Amino acid sequence: MSFKPILNQLLTHVPQSLGAIFLDSEGETVDLLGYGISADTLKILGAYHGIYLGQLRRLTSVANGGEIERFRFAFQRTVVFTVSLQDGYYVMLIAEPDVNEGIAWRHLARTRDQLLAEL
């Protein structure tokens, strides 16, 4: 099954977005879509985010902080938004640094709901 229509909707509704990637609990790509960013770069970002997410899950478990719902990394040239789904799945949005965070989070929440309905 292709999740590209859902990812395309996310990228269309979030100005300054560069790419989106849907990943499994191992950091393996389920589907991706990029505008201005290569598929290989998206896969590498996704895999490393899987490592970060695993470490954050261990940290929040030790600290009794509960499940991770979302997190953001801001870099000089990009911002990466990550939203957890179920069973370790997650979706990422990569955008330019001047992206409107409120719009990004709102559309990521909608994307999360759409992906959950398909799982």
Count: domains in the chain: 1
Q: Distance (Å, rounded) from C-alpha 87 to C-alpha 61?
A: 16
The pLDDT assigned to 16 comes to: 94
The CA distances from residue 30 to 10, 25, 98, 108, in Å, are 16, 10, 28, 17
Range of the domain at 23: 4-118
Q: Distance (Å, rounded) from C-alpha 100 to C-alpha 55?
A: 27
The pLDDT assigned to 28 comes to: 87
- Mean pLDDT in each 10-residue stretch from start to end of the chain (119 residues)? 91 95 89 90 87 80 78 90 89 95 96 91
With beta carbons less than 8 A apart as the criterion, state whether 51 and 65 touch. Answer: no
The pLDDT assigned to 60 comes to: 77
Cα–Cα nearest to 95, from 6, 5, 21:
21
The domain that holds 41 is classified in CATH as 3.30.450.30
Q: Distance (Å, rounded) from C-alpha 18 to C-alpha 96?
A: 7
